Amino acid sequence: MSATGARGSILVVGGGISGITAAVEASEAGADVVLVEKLPFLGGRVARLNQYFPKLCPPTCGLEINLRTLRTSPRIRCLTLSEVERITGEPGGYTATVRRDPRFVTERCTACGACVEVCPVERPDAFNLGMGTTRAVYLPFEMATPMRYAIDADACRGDECGACVAACPYGAIDLATEPETIEVEVDAVVWATGWDPPDAARFEGLGFGQYPDVVTNVMLERLAAPGGPTGGRILRPSTGEEVRSVAFVQCAGSRDENYLSYCSGVCCMASLKQARYVREQVPDADITVYYIDIRSPGRLEDFYAAAQADDKLSLIKGKVANVVGGADGLEIEVEDTASAQLVRRSFDMVVLATGMVPVGVGGAELDSGPQQDAYGFLRPRDRSGMLTAGCAKRPADVATCVRDATAAVGRALEFCGEGSRG
């Protein structure tokens, strides 16, 4: 893949906003890049958002130009459905072993959808966090990169069915595709593996998994997104009706020694952003945010002040202790710290502001990889050619991830000798 005269080569692990930024910045600095992503599409968690914070524009606004660069740059090789199994060597001379799982749909795919029309198997829609289904052959989302269908091997019946093979007018489906192992030589590695939401069903008393109208913050992003399971309408999952009252429960499972003892930093502003989603759709909706304290550093204070000016949005300092079903929907039990009273109120929907759990290095075997802190976030070792970026190293918003990935590439380039892999 090397372009003539390349300024060394860099492996970027993770195809979210941090990994994409790192790949683009490294390629524009003259390095060859191998970008590895375990999912069948690029864009990570950002691709699942309804709007960026704090500009409140759709994720395509920032992703589109970068994804175009990934598609067209001769210096970038993207490997989706791939994971790093092992990295050996030292700065300036690493060998990475990458396992690439089959997509079963080749580059001849035009995304016409003929295969979907005949597929008899349904599966939970992972992109929409299980809120809805797709067929076993599916396009992850409407602007997926690569713009190509994939087949879920766990759901597909394979040769027992084969309806998609017969239906594809371009001969783009190969159900016999096998996993492959790829070895790449690079000078440096940027770990940008990002984060996952925690399993909210573990959080005792908050009702997730017990009551359908208790959702998480990442689920609400999909409910509000035009490409989401409800076409962008925020509806009660239990009835499909418009919400009239919503409670946002901050620090759900976070800052809690039983679950996540750290603060993810971005959840407060994310909930205030999502309160705007509700207000735009239902102007007279009753919205309450229950919080321990509001984190709105620096320039974000103005956003917080705007939320405080909404006379139908209540900000109540108090830790929610219990969520139960009631005659009028969901009943919340919370101690109002200001009044020192135990309060019970009913809502149509409860949104749990869950935090960020680092993905780390997965199951990769590393000679001298980054260290993990007490929470699982990654820290580079001194003088190591394995750098870390974005939410792999700490909870962060999109803008911080972009800056951080750019800085990581600057460090990675120090290990790339001029033309060392050319």
Q: Contact 141/209 with Cβ under 8 angstroms?
A: no
Per-residue model confidence (pLDDT) at position 2: 46
pLDDT digits (tens, 9 = 90+) for 219-263: 999 999 999 999 999 999 999 999 999 999 999 999 999 999 999
Q: Which two tokens stand for residue 148?
A: 């190509």
How far is C-alpha 342 from the chain's CA centre?
36
Q: How far apart are CA 7 and CA 302, in angstroms?
A: 43
**Residue 110 pLDDT > 90:** yes
Per-residue model confidence (pLDDT) at position 7: 82
Reported confidence tier of residue 304, pLDDT bands at 50, 70, 90 = confident
Least confident segment among 37-51, 279-293, 318-332, 350-364:
318-332
CA dihedral of residues 379, 380, 382, 384 (deg, nearest 10): 170
Find all residues with CB under 8 Å of 315, minimum gap 6, and list them.
288, 289, 291, 294, 307, 308
Peptide bond into 54 cis (omega under 30): yes
Q: How far apart are CA 333 and CA 350, in angstroms?
A: 12
pLDDT digits (tens, 9 = 90+) for 355-406: 999 999 999 999 888 999 999 999 988 889 999 999 999 999 999 999 999 9
- Among candidates 294, 316, 320, which has minimal Cα distance to 305? 294
Per-residue model confidence (pLDDT) at position 327: 79
Q: Contact 152/123 with Cβ under 8 angstroms?
A: yes
Q: Contact 102/67 with Cβ under 8 angstroms?
A: no
- Whether the CA torsion 5, 7, 9, 11 is positive or negative: it is negative
pLDDT digits (tens, 9 = 90+) for 47-82: 999 998 877 889 888 899 999 999 999 999 999 999
Per-residue model confidence (pLDDT) at position 1: 47
Query: First-to-last CA distance in the chain?
Result: 9
Question: What is the overall mean pLDDT for the chain?
Answer: 93
**Residue 30 pLDDT > 90:** yes
pTM over 0.75: yes
Q: How many angstroms separate the Cα of 42 from the Cα of each of 73, 197, 234, 351?
A: 15, 18, 26, 27
Report all structural domains of the chain as residue ranges with CATH numbers, in order of start: 9-101+179-196+357-415 (3.50.50.60), 114-167 (no CATH), 200-352 (3.50.50.60)
